[in-house]
Chain A
Amino acid sequence: MTVTLAEDTAVAQDDRTAARVVDGRAVVIVIDERKLHTLNDVGTRIWQLADGRTIGEIAECLTREFDVTREKAVADTCRFVGELHAVGALRVGSGR
């Protein structure tokens, strides 16, 4: 399902997932899809920050923690959130 993502889109981990973060890398399992995903360090951070924050708030954190401009952080977060939403790992909604 295609969704429109923007800075004020709220993002949260789907309840039907299980994940483990080890040494800054995450394994995320989407239970109903029986699929396993491994995330890189930036992806893992986005996953950890997906607790109801908006994409803009997540991008702010990434800007502080990684050497990246806010514009690129927002764009990359939107793309990555879209990918994880498509596989059922993240829920997205209107901003808070």
Chain B
Amino acid sequence: MESTLVRWIPSEPPIARAAFAPSERFAFGGVAFELLGDHGRGPLTLPPNVGQFVSRQAMGGMVAHVVCSIREDASLAEHATGVHQVRWSWTGDYGRVETGRSKAEVARLQRGRYAVTARVAPGSVGLSALVRSLAAAIARREGGLVLHASAAALDGKALLFVGPSGAGKSTACRMLRGASLIAGDRVILQRTEVGAIAWGVLDGNDPATELPRGPVSLPVGAILRVRHGVGSPSVVTAKGAGAIAILRESLMVSAGSTEDERALLDDCEALAAAVPVLTVQTVLGTELTPHVRPWGGGGHA
């Protein structure tokens, strides 16, 4: 256990919020955040685009609730190694999350409740990357899965398109007439008693588009591995080891130990049993909706 994390454990939960500056509350990828300004240093200065984070919608049913104390640290800008380099690790209920421009220490106070202290490089990029990474790490700690996926809502269900970068995930979403994008590159997936729930995380290099529009969750209709082809679009069900392989390749987590990896395979196997896993051949310029509609909310698959 990291001794530096001991200070996180509050003697009287929850954290004495009055001691902090005014906060910002929002939801991101199924995780409700409350960002607190730096104690004793005045209110947290949120960059302009982070204002779009703010969602005062009901926070019920979220994967987790996080109270996060943040201060800016100019040294992190000097040592930035890239916003996409993300690492997290958990030792029991304590974790560390690092991006190229932020560092955070995380304590799990109880199920679904977290406290975080973080340092971020000045500017919106560091904070955005931190929130995105915290959401992923905490969702994973709560038993959720983070998928490298684009997702679209079709008839009330989420269709998740997976595949390596460049496979055409986002393009597949754009081929769905009448569907709305709920995730550009990443989906947080939570298994519940009533099935798998997808939390969209809008993402991207453009700060104007990477921020979420609020809590967006939908039951998962299907997970589709995208392959570009010629001729006509087609959909084939993946089963058994093939489905597990598709899911494991799509998880945004690298296991450090054999036990971790086996646990991930368990998760993939359970998910494959709960959600249809398909391979879809997309054809540029060809409408995809009729081929996948059976797995949308209006279908009967």
Instruction: Show the binding face of A for B, using Cβ within 8 Å.
Output: 15-27, 29, 31, 34, 36, 38-39
Contacts and interface: CB of A to CB of B under 8 A. Distances in A.
A38 B269 contact: no
B46 interface: no
B265 A27 contact: yes
Interface string B233-270: 00000011110110011000011111001101100110
B241 A36 contact: no
A37 to B, nearest CB: 9
Q: Secondary structure at chain A's binding surface: helix, strand, loop or mixed?
A: strand
B262 A18 contact: yes
A18 B265 CA distance: 8
Given A20-B269, A31-B255, A38 B261 contact: no
Contact of B258 (A20, A23, A31): A31
A25 B241 contact: yes
A36 B249 CA distance: 8
A26 B265 CA distance: 11
A27 B248 contact: yes
B271 to A, nearest CB: 12
Contacts of A29: 248, 261, 265
A34 B249 CA distance: 10
A78 B257 CA distance: 29
A36 B245 CA distance: 7
B88 to A, nearest CB: 16
Interface centre among A17, A23, A27, A36 (most CB of B within 10 A): A27
20 contacts: A17-B258, A18-B258, A18-B261, A18-B262, A18-B264, A18-B265, A19-B265, A20-B265, A21-B241, A22-B244, A22-B269, A27-B245, A27-B265, A31-B255, A31-B258, A36-B245, A36-B248, A38-B241, A38-B245, A39-B241
A23 B249 contact: no
A21 B244 CA distance: 10
Contacts of B242: 25, 38
A24 B257 CA distance: 25
Contacts of A19: 265
Contact of A20 (B244, B249, B254): B244
